Amino acid sequence: MTTRFFGAPVKRNEDRKLLTGQALFIDDVELPGMLHAAFLRSHAAHARIKRIDVSRALQRPGVVAVYTADDYGAYWQPGPLLVPPPPIPRSIFNLRTQVPLAKDKVRHVGEPLAVVVAESRYIAEDALDDIDVDLEPLPAVIDLEAALRPGSALVHDDLGSNVSAHVHQSKGDYRAAAAKAHLVIKRRFAYEHGIASTIETRGVVAHWEARSQHMTIWDTTQAPVFVRNGLAAVLGLGERQVRVIAPFVGGGFGPKIMMFYPEEVALPWISMRLNRPVKWIEDRLEHFFATTHERGQIHDAEIAVTRDGRILGVKDVFLHDGGAYDPYGLTVPINSQCTLLGPYVVPSYDSTFTAVFTNLPIVTPYRGAGRQHGVFVMERLLDLAAHELNIDPAEIRRRNLIPADAFPYKNGIIYQDFSQLEYDSGNYEPVLDQTLQAIGYAEFKQEQEKLRAQGRHVGIGVACYVEGTGIGPYEGAKVQVQANGKVSVATGIGTQGQGHFTSFAQIAADQLGVDVTDVEIVTGDTDQFYWGAGTFASRGAVVAGNAVNEASRAVRQKALKLASDAFECAEEDLVLADGKISIVGIPEKFLSLGELAKRANPMRGAVKPGTEPGLESTQYFGPPSGATANGVHAMIVEVDPDTFDLKILKYVVVHDCGTVINPLILEGQIHGGVAQGIGNAFYEKLVFDDQGQLLNASLADYLLPTALEVPRMELGHTVTPSPLNPMGIKGAGEAGAIPVGPLFAQAIEDALQLKEKNVELLEIPLSPSRIFDLIKASEP
């Protein structure tokens, strides 16, 4: 195989459709006779449902039907557990999953109570106002610590407490480590992650065709195969009767993999009942509480270090806000627990968390998926230790990095994918070196004195992280050469902008000797590819990418075999390039791949035993465990001492995600991740009052970073291939977003010399007003 496309900054195949307005997104699906749904949502966070009267709504012209939980009958079932808890001894996990429409009780603002179906969305929304609802308010469970005190109101009455989960993992003997430590630092940290806020909200279109007894569902999901399997089961249909299409999806970042959202359950059922297609598109207000969040954790953490700054151990006890239901099991807090360890040698670790039910929207993974929380705690502990020990923050990190000869590195605890947390490969110190070089670390320290003398408040931050990526179970790909010579590649994952139409095409094009533009990728259509899991955990390129490679290689073998039979020569004497197979040295003697595809499907003459018709292969790839990527971010900021507004003067990311398929796409992934990290660190905050009302549910009040807040970034790469897959790939989707919180805290502390004011930044998100408050509070 000659590599012409793999590793090259190939421009994207999918761009043209998107640039000309021709790509099909969910709300572009228009079907004859289509109805429109709107959901009545709870305005209370916690209340008993006394009465829902829909009779007036039904009288409104254009309204076709209105349904409440009672109408669902046996169809009303709580959603499935998506990820069972890992087998960690003595763990507690109380499963309470979301319901399709609230019955008896509402548990968060925005939980749907009823659905109106009408001839237009405008009429459906009018009719929401016609529904008479009587809710008896109950005390809302909002504060994590209060939720666990005796006498607290209960989110799930039958449970007797608000504990969703309780997990303890440890290695080594932390107590002994702390006893012999030169220094133990203990602090409370609060880290809140916000919402993904994709620019396209969610949507579902369901179309039941009674004559063919077939259901087609268009869904903005990251996991179409799981959605098909689950919905077929609850609808009482065979899986072959249900086709789920995830069309072009306008951003995912995690929440679009949650299932089943109440709307996903409602629409197919309505379509079957009314025998008409029906559409629901989430509006932005709904998105703020009907789509899942990531939110807060409170960590009481301590680090034990030697005099020269070497880590002896870390202890952490934390609370995790899980929201009203826990369909995603332990994924987010387990990620926090595991990712805290970072790229460092931590001989002893003692970590306990309690996940708490609250009357707030459901928490599921959002880009980083709890990793940020853990990384924040570890990086801040190291900063505090560095300050106490008078060691440079970059230097204390260097002293603790896992050495290059220690891989594969066993961490001695269990990860979200059920396997032991083991770093497959890595070489961390060069990444740190390259980052410090690129940011100009040493030079800046001198420059800073000069700038301070001029009255300018500039500071620097450096933060490290590792990211578990590319977890199983598996993905597959079907590669087929068509009679026109074009190659079709179908996989089961969905795509939300990651460039799969290009990166997968690069892999197939190299194996099959065709141009990258002659490879057509199909993703997210369960009729095109039946099996798979989905796009999450930075796994698309790793898992589906390797399946594409395996299937392409198998097709290549088939084509060569067929040509060797046709030319009556050995396969070694053939060359596959430019879409054709020729005999070495005789380029005029060739068969095109399209011609070979036709010959592989003969009209006369049997297909020989042991062979199959067509130039086609389906292969699967399942890694034994996740591949670990790593990186370092560094940033120089200038802070306005009066307003505490800040300007990022320089931002550097050096990253190792193994072998790179497409550096252009990789850059885009890192840029986008950092932008979300910046939003998380300094701009985005979900503000709830003590009644569980979200006070800033609009994009005018919940601040996504714009082109003015996100700086130009300078990227660098090192390559340590993963031994866990033949291509050596590691995932890259989430890396950019992970270490930005501690970077901001460190750089702002440095810029404002907050240590001298006894102010420590131990929480995220920060903001100008929050920094003002913290400084004010510290003043005598």
Partner 1 sequence: MQPDRHEISISVNGTAYRRSVESRTLLSDFLRHDLLLAGTHVGCEHGVCGACTVLLDGAPIRSCLMLAVQANGHELSTIEGLASDSGELSPVQRAMHEHHGLQCGYCTPGILMTMTAFLKQNPSPSEEKVREALSGNLCRCTGYQHIVDAVMAAAQAMRAAAP
Residues that bind partner 1 (CB under 8 A): 11-12, 14-23, 25, 27-28, 30, 122, 196-201, 248-253, 283-284, 496-499, 664-665, 667-668, 670-676, 698-700, 704, 706-708, 710, 712-713, 736
Give the shortest CB-316-to-partner 1 separation in angstroms: 31
Give the shortest CB-685-to-partner 1 separation in angstroms: 17
Crossing angle of helices 500-512/545-567, nearest 10°? 30
Residue 306: exposure state from Cβ atoms within 10 A (0-12, 13-18, ≥19) = middle
Integer CA distances (angstroms), 197 to 280, 448, 704, in order: 18, 37, 8
Q: Which is nearer to partner 1, 407 or 651 (CB)?
A: 651
Going by C-beta distance under 8 Å and a sequence separation of 6 or more, which residues neighbour residue 702?
194, 195, 197, 288, 684, 685, 686, 696
Q: How do strand 487-491 and strand 475-481 relate by DSSP bridges? A: antiparallel
Q: Which is nearer to partner 1, 80 or 663 (CB)?
A: 663
Q: How far, in Å, CA of 628 to CA of 411, rounded?
A: 12
Give the shortest CB-255-to-partner 1 separation in angstroms: 12
The half-sphere exposure of 267 on its side-chain side, counting CA atoms within 13 A, is: 29
Q: How far, in Å, CA of 423 to CA of 404, rounded?
A: 11
Residue 756: exposure state from Cβ atoms within 10 A (0-12, 13-18, ≥19) = exposed
Integer CA distances (angstroms), 366 to 258, 329, 565, in order: 10, 14, 52
Give the shortest CB-180-to-partner 1 separation in angstroms: 45
Q: Which is nearer to partner 1, 16 or 188 (CB)?
A: 16
Asked if 431 and 632 count as a contact pair (C-beta separation under 8 A), the reply is: yes
Q: Which is nearer to partner 1, 135 or 196 (CB)?
A: 196
Give the shortest CB-678-to-partner 1 separation in angstroms: 8
Give the shortest CB-778-to-partner 1 separation in angstroms: 34
Give the shortest CB-176-to-partner 1 separation in angstroms: 45
Give the shortest CB-643-to-partner 1 separation in angstroms: 18
Integer CA distances (angstroms), 487 to 126, 313, 512, 602, 622, in order: 49, 54, 8, 19, 23
Give the shortest CB-20-to-partner 1 separation in angstroms: 5
Q: Which is nearer to partner 1, 117 or 385 (CB)?
A: 117
Among candidates 538, 396, 388, 375, which has minimal Cα distance to 466?
A: 375
Q: Which is nearer to partner 1, 496 or 582 (CB)?
A: 496
Q: Which is nearer to partner 1, 234 or 657 (CB)?
A: 657
Q: How far, in Å, CA of 265 to CA of 416, rounded?
A: 27
Q: Which is nearer to partner 1, 24 or 584 (CB)?
A: 24
Give the shortest CB-123-to-partner 1 separation in angstroms: 9
Phi/psi of residue 177, nearest 5 degrees: -65, -45
Q: How far, in Å, CA of 640 to CA of 638, rounded?
A: 7
Give the shortest CB-197-to-partner 1 separation in angstroms: 6
DSSP H or E segment with residue 484: none
Q: Which is nearer to partner 1, 239 or 640 (CB)?
A: 640
Crossing angle of helices 663-678/740-751, nearest 10°? 60
Question: Dihedral angle at the C-alpha atoms of 528, 532, 535, 538, nearest 10 degrees?
Answer: -130
Give the shortest CB-373-to-partner 1 separation in angstroms: 21
Strand partners, 65: 117
Q: How far, in Å, CA of 76 to CA of 115, rounded?
A: 14
The half-sphere exposure of 352 on its side-chain side, counting CA atoms within 13 A, is: 7
Q: How many residues does the chain have?
A: 780
Give the shortest CB-289-to-partner 1 separation in angstroms: 15
One-letter identity of residue 51: R
Q: Which is nearer to partner 1, 37 or 44 (CB)?
A: 37
Q: Which is nearer to partner 1, 15 or 53 (CB)?
A: 15
Q: Which is nearer to partner 1, 218 or 344 (CB)?
A: 218
Asked if 746 and 379 count as a contact pair (C-beta separation under 8 A), the reply is: yes
Asked if 679 and 710 count as a contact pair (C-beta separation under 8 A), the reply is: no
Among candidates 397, 401, 399, which has minimal Cα distance to 462?
A: 397
Where helices occur in 356-499 by DSSP H, the ranges are 371-389, 393-400, 428-439, 441-453
Cα 386-391-393 angle, rounded to 5 deg: 60
Extract the tokens encoding 36. 């429109």
Q: Which is nearer to partner 1, 114 or 196 (CB)?
A: 196
Q: Which is nearer to partner 1, 303 or 657 (CB)?
A: 657
Q: Which is nearer to partner 1, 122 or 772 (CB)?
A: 122
Q: How far, in Å, CA of 710 to CA of 716, rounded?
A: 18
Q: Which is nearer to partner 1, 18 or 154 (CB)?
A: 18
Give the shortest CB-675-to-partner 1 separation in angstroms: 4
Tokens 């006890």 correspond to 317
One-letter identity of residue 283: D
Give the shortest CB-253-to-partner 1 separation in angstroms: 7
Asked if 695 and 688 count as a contact pair (C-beta separation under 8 A), the reply is: yes
Extract the tokens encoding 269. 């059922």
Give the shortest CB-708-to-partner 1 separation in angstroms: 5
Strand partners, 300: 188, 317
Extract the tokens encoding 543. 């898992």
Asked if 83 and 50 count as a contact pair (C-beta separation under 8 A), the reply is: no
Give the shortest CB-95-to-partner 1 separation in angstroms: 32
Q: Which is nearer to partner 1, 57 or 301 (CB)?
A: 57
